């Protein structure tokens, strides 16, 4: 489990297709405190550490994950590229502060940025979600976008709006976001269960 509070910006150093995709991710985390088999959310995708170095860790990414996220080429046309920055978060420990919302790291699909404009020092971003997921997104509800816990400002059909304050843009990859980008989307677990209960109501 994660909180959607990004604690490092990593960098893709290498990628290699060997059955699954293996990626090496540079990090400022103290890797001596990371165990093999640990879970790290990389742009919102919960991935398992399979190798470690002084300032990097390796992860294996399955075909299923590639098909559902912006790591693969289906949405971004290029997938993860060497040099690309990633939002990173280590798994939640018992007793940690829950500053965002409960995030599983199981991405539901991808949304696309369709509009961006500045509002004062903040940036207003409008994204378009897949129709099958849009019903789970509600005004003032929570979503995780590229691993960042965010509050939805408004919803119009499949489109929804988010505001990014300067701090968020500075400590995450959102400072480099642009129109047309495909973004990993995880809907709020509570919203999923409420919708499921309604089906049997």
Q: What is the pLDDT of residue 195?
A: 67
Q: What is the pLDDT of residue 97?
A: 64
| Exposed e or buried b per residue across 128-148, where buried means at least 16 C-beta atoms within 10 angstroms of its C-beta | bbeeebbebbbeebbbbbbbb
Q: What is the pLDDT of residue 60?
A: 96
Q: How far apart are CA 166 and CA 159, in angstroms?
A: 23
* CATH entry 3.20.20.140 includes domain 109-199: no
**Cα dist from 11 to 53, 78, 118, 161, 172, whole Å:** 14, 16, 27, 27, 12
Phi first, then psi, for residue 133 (nearest 5°) are -100, -20
> Where do the structural domains in the chain lie, given as residue ranges?
8-90, 109-199
Q: Do domains 8-90 and 109-199 have the same CATH topology?
A: yes
Q: What is the pLDDT of residue 174?
A: 96
Q: How far apart are CA 144 and CA 16, in angstroms?
A: 27
Which tens digit of pLDDT belongs to each residue from 59-101? 999 999 999 999 987 776 678 999 999 999 999 776 666 666 7
Task: Looking at the chain, list the stretches that DSSP marks H as alpha helix, in order from N- to C-terminal side.
Answer: 63-68, 73-76, 131-134, 166-171, 189-199
Q: What is the pLDDT of residue 160?
A: 98
**Cα dist from 147 to 16, 194, 197, whole Å:** 23, 22, 26
CATH architecture of 8-90: Beta Barrel (2.40)
Cβ atoms 12, 23 nearer than 8 A: yes
Per-residue pLDDT of the chain (201 residues; tens, 9 = 90+): 888 899 999 999 999 988 899 999 999 999 999 999 999 999 999 999 999 999 999 999 999 999 999 998 777 667 899 999 999 999 977 666 666 677 888 999 999 999 999 999 999 999 999 999 999 999 999 999 999 999 999 999 999 999 999 999 999 999 999 999 999 999 987 766 676 667 676
């Amino acid at each position: 489990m994660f909180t959607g509070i990004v604690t490092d910006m990593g960098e893709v150093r290498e990628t290699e297709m060997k059955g699954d995709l293996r990626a090496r991710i540079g990090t400022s985390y103290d890797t001596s405190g990371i165990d093999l088999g640990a879970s790290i959310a990389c742009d919102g995708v919960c991935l398992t550490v399979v190798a470690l170095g002084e300032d990097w860790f390796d992860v294996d990414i399955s075909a299923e994950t590639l098909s559902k996220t912006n790591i693969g080429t289906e949405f971004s046309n290029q997938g993860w590229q060497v040099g690309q920055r990633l939002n990173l978060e280590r798994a939640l420990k018992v007793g940690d502060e829950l500053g965002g919302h409960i995030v599983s790291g199981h991405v539901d699909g991808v949304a696309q940025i369709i509009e961006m404009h500045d509002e004062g020092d903040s940036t207003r971003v409008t994204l378009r979600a897949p129709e099958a997921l849009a019903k789970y997104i509600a005004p003032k509800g929570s979503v995780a976008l590229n691993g960042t816990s965010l509050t939805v400002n408004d919803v119009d059909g499949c489109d929804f709006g988010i505001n990014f304050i300067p701090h968020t843009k500075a400590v995450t990859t959102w400072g480099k976001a642009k129109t047309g980008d495909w973004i990993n989307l995880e809907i709020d677990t509570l919203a999923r269960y409420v919708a499921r209960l309604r089906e049997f109501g």
